[in-house]
Structure 1
Amino acid sequence: SLGTVVTERLLDAVCILLITGGTFLLQMPVFVRFFSETGTKIPSLLHLLTSPWFYVSLFSVIGVGVLLYYLLRMLSFYEKVKGVVRSVWEGVMSLRQVDHIGLFVFYTVAIWVCYFLHFYLTFFCFDFTSSLSLQAGLVMFVGGTFAVIVPTPNGAGPWHFAVITMMMLYGVSDADASMFALIVHGIQTLLVIVLGVYGWLHAMWVNRNATRP
């Protein structure tokens, strides 16, 4: 159901936030330097959060949201929206009915470990990245994970920028970092395509057998 899908995404968000927080604490100087070189100044962000205009804007957005809520209640599709919200809530609450919650958490963590290893193990395929530490891999993994939020095909562009920039902070040359990003992202994209085609063909085969008398 939609609620189950949303719940899975929420758990993914919690995992990546925990990974990001731990990585930031371990490699704070690298992140500060990255923000500085990309034009994102932490003092500016702190000034924004302490500015009264920020909170005026925030409460204005909340006010608009409340107004839209009451307007939606007056429209015909309010019940449809309400049904979607109820479905999402039921999906979130379905976590209480998981028989083996420990196994569920283990699989969730294991999936993210595999995500990371899928990226980090490629370091050992190149001489110029084989000496990079696990912490360096975490920094680039976090940066790349947030970069793919930008709506581009499989994160193409933003992912390359984040990985190349962070890799250069660890002493890798621009040319080598660019080559790494292009090759690794290309292989990962190819893997997604191959597995997607396999899944599509397998689903067709299963459905065909299911419809046979």
Structure 2
Amino acid sequence: MPKTLKTIIQFAVFLGLGILIIWWTVRGFTPQQISEIKSAMRHGNYWLLIPTMILGIGSHWVRAIRWRLLFSPLGYEPKKLNTFFAVMIGYLLNLAVPRLGEVARCGVLSRYEKIPVDRLVGTMIAERAIDLLCLILLLTVTVLIQVDVVGAFVSQYIWTPLSAKFTGVPLMTWGIVVAGGLLFVMLVAWLLRRFKSTKAGISFRNLLRGIVEGILSVGKLRDKGWFLFYTLLMWALYFSQVYIAFWCMDETVGLGAKAAMSILAFGSIGMIATQGGIGAYQYIVQQILVLYGISATIGFAFGWIIWLAQTALMLVLGFGSLAAIPLLNKKPAEPQQP
């Protein structure tokens, strides 16, 4: 399948899924409820979105600085602005096709800093694995400290569907899956040995070696304390964005830190589920706020307000980075040696 056609299909599938979720959510609203949603969005205090956007810029900058720390064990020191621009261009492309931006930001930084892209991909994988662990930890803490509020939500929308999906799988099917995985690994290992002297084999081994070195850069960090600090600061900035956004609407002003934790934790899943989080994010935010006594219409409106603010920020910073990075790098960079 041509790469362009595959990208178009991915774009259409994820966008269609998001639109389907929006339609499925809205179809149950009465005309009066739709009118309430429009009224809530018209009367929102959007000036308070300015500090949330400033915090958003700060979180993106911290992510770039944290990612840059992973290059030090490999012997590379890219410019901070180039790293930030690459991260924002990646976010921009993620709005089009999920996860495409993760590879694209590595390509952008490799182009302007002359760092091997395989090592950049390895550091990106390591960084995202750490973010996944942080999200799992946040979800666990969120549920444990307020089981009475979000316990039913987790049971209905996460635990029960997963249990139903895996409970009925026969043991033979699991055996086939495991055997297939082992055969695939053995096939790759055989191909590497069989064609180890060819140009393609050498290139592939070098690619794998570079990716592994990038992943292992976490363990070789000299500034582990700073890496942990930036990780905690980044998630604190994410949390602050949601908490301050509560003040944009009269109905959500009284919500506290626990509600903000729930939206951050479960809303992050929505951002991953569909293209740019469209549809899924608003639906999850709506369902979470209902648990805290907020009406479904207000919850839906609030989800759209913070999603639009986050998406607008990514669009501005993403397109701005696309325009700025070639201007910052008019003089071609010399290839960096580890």
Q: Which ranges of structure 2 fall in alignment gaps of 5 or more residues?
A: 1-119, 333-338
Task: Tell me the equivalent position of 1:199.
Answer: 321
Corresponding residue to 2:177 among 55, 61, 77: 61
Task: Tell me the equivalent position of 1:31.
Answer: 150
Corresponding residue to 2:308 among 162, 175, 186: 186
Cα pair 1:160 1:182 within 8 Å, conserved: yes
CA–CA distance in 1 between the matches of 2:282 and 2:204?
A: 38
Q: 1:81 to 1:150 in 2, by over 3 A?
A: farther
CA–CA distance in 2 between the matches of 1:147 and 1:92?
A: 26
CA–CA distance in 1 between the matches of 2:156 and 2:164?
A: 19
Corresponding residue to 1:140 among 260, 263, 276: 263
Task: Tell me the equivalent position of 2:105.
Answer: none
User: What is the aligned-residue identity percentage?
Assistant: 27
1:19 partnered with 2:138: yes
TM-score, normalised relative to structure 1: 0.84
Amino acid in structure 1 at the alignment position of 2:308: G
CA–CA distance in 2 between the matches of 1:55 and 1:158?
A: 33
Task: Tell me the equivalent position of 2:295.
Answer: 173
CA–CA distance in 1 between the matches of 2:234 and 2:227?
A: 11
Secondary structure of 1:18's partner?
helix
CA deviations on 1:104-141 (whole Å, 9 max, x unpaired) are: 11011111111121222101111111111211111111
Task: Tell me the equivalent position of 1:130.
Answer: 253
Q: Which ranges of structure 1 fall in alignment gaps of 5 or more residues?
A: none
Q: 1:159 to 1:48 in 2, by over 3 A?
A: closer
Cα pair 1:4 1:88 within 8 Å, conserved: yes
Secondary structure of 2:273's partner?
coil
CA–CA distance in 2 between the matches of 1:81 and 1:54?
A: 37
Amino acid in structure 1 at the alignment position of 2:136: L
CA–CA distance in 2 between the matches of 1:91 and 1:27?
A: 38
Amino acid in structure 1 at the alignment position of 2:325: A
1:96 partnered with 2:212: no
Task: Tell me the equivalent position of 2:186.
Answer: 70
Q: 1:198 to 1:45 in 2, by over 3 A?
A: closer
Corresponding residue to 1:112 among 235, 241, 253: 235
Q: 1:70 to 1:41 in 2, by over 3 A?
A: closer
Amino acid in structure 1 at the alignment position of 2:295: S
Amino acid in structure 1 at the alignment position of 2:181: G
TM-score, normalised relative to structure 2: 0.55
Q: 1:132 to 1:63 in 2, by over 3 A?
A: same
CA root-mean-square deviation: 2.5
Amino acid in structure 2 at the alignment position of 1:25: L
CA deviations on 1:35-60 (whole Å, 9 max, x unpaired) are: 4555x564x755777x5846543332
Cα pair 1:128 1:176 within 8 Å, conserved: yes
Deviation at residue 78 of structure 1 after TM alignment = 6.5
Amino acid in structure 2 at the alignment position of 1:194: V
Cα pair 1:27 1:139 within 8 Å, conserved: no
Q: How many residues align?
A: 206
Amino acid in structure 2 at the alignment position of 1:59: G
1:86 partnered with 2:209: yes
Secondary structure of 2:272's partner?
coil
Cα pair 2:274 2:280 within 8 Å, conserved: no
Deviation at residue 29 of structure 1 after TM alignment = 2.6
Cα pair 1:7 1:91 within 8 Å, conserved: yes
